[in-house]
Structure 1
């Protein structure tokens, strides 16, 4: 008898479950959200100090953390040396050759001219001997090659001396000036990188999480501070396609915060379809199969009343 009573209870339970209407979850329930913002360092460095705590509100321009970046200090020293060298090269190009350099070129010119004259005399003698069959072709070719080498060296020093007398070419001066500007730019870049050892708030923010602690390595671009933009509270609802006709952009609605029962007025600012993976399939029996899902964003009319509501709290439409 007890066995039949148990079976009857189970049958009644399943019958009640089948007759129970599906609960409509998303046409009236939503979440409180705020716009999220993150701050990350632009250079890699070890964290020396963190000046803020989780839950703290910071203002634009506040210092959040200090990093140790010894590599940047080394780059500054290198860039300063490059600037000094480039400035000296630029000045030397503008001034041209010194008196001592000119004397050295003139002495070089005199020595190479003597060698060239001697090579010419030797070649003339060798030519006469070669015509009289007193010199082998190999020896004659060697003397001729020496003449050509002496002539090439002489022509080079003549051109060099002439260039010095005319002064430094305009193109060389411009090239030296460009190298000096490039070195100054590298130094400026190094100084900018060094200033980035301070992580500065670029926005007002309510800090939610701090990802690292002092002593840890913070890489460039890694979100070190995460939080919310103040006065950016909004409400997000997801609604199936079968219910979306109830709502329109610009519509005024009344909603209630679940945890404190506070009523708020809001305005629908947009309605958009969520991506395809959010469409309903059989694991979601409370919606019609293959319903598209839409997101509704509602902004409060009175931000002062909404700004202190906890993020991710439940809200319902009244």
Structure 2
């Protein structure tokens, strides 16, 4: 039968190996689970990043809250009062300076204070206007792009997490288990071998003269070797499949040139309807009804 190895795509430590030799599995079944700190940490980080990006977008789409507007209005009122006082102080300082009551330095200080207060008032007005307008469209677009990027990064991290699970690629039987929980394995290390029991085949060796009389797809009869004293069962239908292109010598020692001329070819006899009676390694007898002696 065809065999395939189940191996992880990423390195890691085996946490769980769920199969034993002889177990029947279906394609897609989880055979083993691995863990790797880097992959798990990256997934947690990207999930948190996506949550933060979504929260920021929701806040921008919701716009300014009433409490923020009230605070901006209160700040502006206080700064307007401060700017009014500073302007009044500057007007008084200008009169006193004109009457030579105060020095020019004091007038300069009053003028600088009035200008600074006016700038703070203007900044507060802009802040209040922005709060009343809500989030700008370009800010929302940037936030949406950040969410999309975070979603893509999380999807990539989730794909890495999925690769920590080793799945069966075909329906079949576990022929071998090659690792145990707790082992650290590299990517591509076989953890189990699966035999595709739904597509069994038999390898037989045919002499060149006999093979020449059998076209591809020729019918074959396959019988399980019966136990001593037991009757033979009904033959299983098969067909001639792939033929190995390179000839082989006879299995026994070929001592003479004449014996070396007796070449064999390895052929594959496929059984499309095995009936669930075949197992790997069982001895069988193969007969080709259409073969010409």
Q: TM-score, normalised on structure 2?
A: 0.57
Q: Residue 38 of structure 1: CA displacement?
A: 2.5
Q: Residue 226 of structure 1: CA displacement?
A: 0.4
> Given that residues 233 and 306 in structure 1 are in contact (C-alpha distance below 8 angstroms), is that contact kept between their aligned partners in structure 2?
no
Q: Residue 46 of structure 1: CA displacement?
A: 0.9
Return the structure number with greater relative CO, CA threshold 8 A, min gap 6: 1
Q: Residue 252 of structure 1: CA displacement?
A: 2.0
Q: Residue 304 of structure 1: CA displacement?
A: 2.3
Q: Give the corresponding residue for 1:296.
A: 267
After superposition, the Cα gap between the structure-2 partners of 1:227 and 1:251, relative to the gap in structure 1 and judged at 3 Å, is same
Residue 209 in 1 paired to residue 176 in 2? Answer: yes
Q: Give the corresponding residue for 1:254.
A: 221
Which structure 2 residues correspond to residues 26-37 of structure 1 after superposition, within 5 A?
Answer: 34-37=1-4
Q: Residue 67 of structure 1: CA displacement?
A: 2.3
Residue 234 in 1 paired to residue 205 in 2? Answer: no
> Given that residues 220 and 240 in structure 2 are in contact (C-alpha distance below 8 angstroms), is that contact kept between their aligned partners in structure 1?
no
Q: Residue 266 of structure 1: CA displacement?
A: 3.1
> Given that residues 248 and 265 in structure 2 are in contact (C-alpha distance below 8 angstroms), is that contact kept between their aligned partners in structure 1?
no
After superposition, the Cα gap between the structure-2 partners of 1:297 and 1:225, relative to the gap in structure 1 and judged at 3 Å, is same
Residue 58 in 1 paired to residue 25 in 2? Answer: yes
Give, in whole Å, the separation in 2 of the partners of 1:255 and 1:80. Answer: 57
> Given that residues 265 and 301 in structure 1 are in contact (C-alpha distance below 8 angstroms), is that contact kept between their aligned partners in structure 2?
no
Q: Give the corresponding residue for 1:266.
A: 237
After superposition, the Cα gap between the structure-2 partners of 1:200 and 1:254, relative to the gap in structure 1 and judged at 3 Å, is closer
Q: Residue 251 of structure 1: CA displacement?
A: 2.3
User: Which blocks of at least 5 consecutive residues in structure 2 are unaligned?
Assistant: 80-122, 289-293
CA RMSD, aligned part only? 4.4
After superposition, the Cα gap between the structure-2 partners of 1:188 and 1:279, relative to the gap in structure 1 and judged at 3 Å, is same
User: Which blocks of at least 5 consecutive residues in structure 1 are unaligned?
Assistant: 1-33, 108-156
- Secondary structure of 1:190's counterpart equals helix
Give, in whole Å, the separation in 2 of the partners of 1:266 and 1:309. Answer: 18
